[in-house]
Chain A
Amino acid sequence: MKTMMQKARQAGLAGLVGIGLATLPVVSQAEWVEWVGDASATAKYRYNLNFSDFDETAQEDWVVEGRASYGRFYQAAENTRLGIMGHATALVHERFDKLNGLISGVDLVGIHKFGLGSGAPVLRAQATAENLDIRDEMRDGRRLAGTLSLSKRFTDRLDGSISYTHSQRYGHRGNAVAGLGGADTDVFNHRQELLGLSGSFLLTERSLLSFGYTRLEGEFATQCPGAGIVGILLLNNEIKGAAVDTVFDETCTYKVEGDVNTYEVGYSYFLDETTSIDLGYQFRDGKAGTLDYTSYDLSAGISILF
């Protein structure tokens, strides 16, 4: 029986073909039409940012995140546009400064609107390639991702979207953990599939409540204080790799395959047409074999559209 992710992957492929076909009858005045951009600055409190299985070793930190994107759209057909965007995110941590870095990349976007009016469904396909330049070398790397989303405004106040993402992260190899010499050290090579549901509801003309759920299936990294337990888990084939982690006090980071459910809720208040104050809460519940961990982020920031 096909899994939900397999079905999502097939739907994604069908969507990409759909956008391609919709773009074929190109309008005679097809041209570059619009520059778009946005920027945000966000302060986050992150609890268990090391995704530790053990509460006593869960780490917390404050992070300031500055993000910007800018790009241009090409109107390919009456209801279809293509875009190219550049994006960059700078990360500054208060305690774990080896996690500071710059993530930058390019997005290729195809958008098709099924009809006329604000209630018409919108299909969006996006390919992302980005470079992760993190102070901790093991976390450096590249990431490639493809996302397909379908969104719709149901009423003047309520909209929703569903999305599927396939992501592949390529990290650097780390140093082997003493006593676990045979284990792979590519703990930041991750293959992930994500299925997302999100929506937003206008509370007033200026304030927006947003909510989302994402299910991740695939590989991710977690961290623990000692090699002993990792060795046991390796024997049980629950861990796919382990390496010394110099970010969190010379401990061990290991790669697992499992799933993470992320729940989020946000509130935005618009100071004017393009600038908003944003508050957010995100809770993650990860499971991989016998491992089980939770983490959350609280955030406050300001966003502006260009």
Chain B
Amino acid sequence: MTMQIRIWIGACLSTLLATGALAGTLEVTVLNDQNEPVENAVVYLLAGDHAKPGAGTEVIKVDQVEKKFVPHVSAMQAGSSVSFPNFDNIRHHVYSFSPARKFEIPLYEGIPADPIQFPEPGIVALGCNIHDWMSGYIFVAETPWFAITGKDGAARIEGVPAGPHQAEVWHEKLRGKPQKTRQQVQVTDSGATTAAFSIRQKKVFSAFRGAASRGGGYR
């Protein structure tokens, strides 16, 4: 095969991938060891031979509403940014100590001027220095192929390049590392591929607001 033909085939494949012609859908359910659906679990695909995406560019929002992070769990691709609008009529002080992205937005109201960029994949736990019970998570994926489960434990990832992929699940109460949930899925371009995950959950003692206030905190 000549170099020109190889380039032509490569260009055609790239075009097909970009237009989604060779893309499929992955439908996933996540259950716990009691066979109950798990809400707010992040299902994601790892980068591999069939999936080498560029960096994310989107800007998502994590609101603060009635002294809570909304949504409680967000997911995005590494390289993307997060805006933290404060819809409460009080000031919040958002921070993260997580190795994946340490940051702090000191006391503020309204919408901070600059979104925070998250260049590295990982799990970022959020807190508010004024209201210790506030907690939230941002899952920073290495690929654009991820989804968050709903109350029924189901999630749907669309636009996945057809082919074999490694899929994992993360949840704030996951017992063990996400790598232990890893399974191979074969995504096809005809119909949806299904996969089921069963995860073990640990007790996570994120205090209720009232309980946190009892401890003599900063309330």
Q: Which residues of A contact B (CB under 8 A)?
A: 27, 29, 33-34, 36, 75, 78-79, 81, 111, 113, 116-118, 120, 122, 124, 149, 151, 153, 155-157, 159, 161, 198, 200, 202, 204-206, 208, 210, 268, 270, 272-276, 303, 305
Contacts and interface: CB of A to CB of B under 8 A. Distances in A.
Contacts of A78: 93, 106-107
B90 interface: yes
Nearest to B104: A116
Contacts of B218: 81, 111, 113, 122
Contact of B215 (A79, A116, A153): A153
Interface stretch (B5-13, B15-23, B46-54, B198-206): B198-206
16 contacts: A33-B90, A113-B218, A116-B93, A117-B97, A117-B127, A117-B129, A122-B217, A153-B217, A159-B216, A202-B207, A204-B205, A205-B204, A208-B211, A270-B208, A303-B210, A305-B209
B150 to A, nearest CB: 21
B156 interface: no
Majority DSSP secondary structure for residues of A touching B: strand
B214 interface: yes
Contacts of B132: 118, 153
Contacts of B210: 268, 270, 273-276, 303, 305
Contacts of B127: 117-118
B164 to A, nearest CB: 39
Contact of A27 (B107, B214, B219): B107
A190 B87 CA distance: 48
B107 A268 contact: no
B80 to A, nearest CB: 24
B206 A205 contact: yes
Contacts of B166: none
Majority DSSP secondary structure for residues of B touching A: loop
Contacts of B93: 78, 116
The 3 closest A-B pairs by CB, nearest first: A151-B216, A159-B215, A118-B132
Contacts of A270: 208, 210-211
A276 B212 CA distance: 12
Nearest to B208: A270
Given A117-B95, A155-B205, A202-B207, 5 more contacts: A75-B107, A78-B93, A113-B218, A153-B217, A206-B208
Contact of A75 (B91, B212, B219): B91
B213 interface: yes
Interface in B166-219: 203-219
A266 to B, nearest CB: 9
Nearest to B128: A118
B214 A210 contact: yes
Given A33-B90, A156-B206, A161 B95 contact: no
Nearest to B88: A34
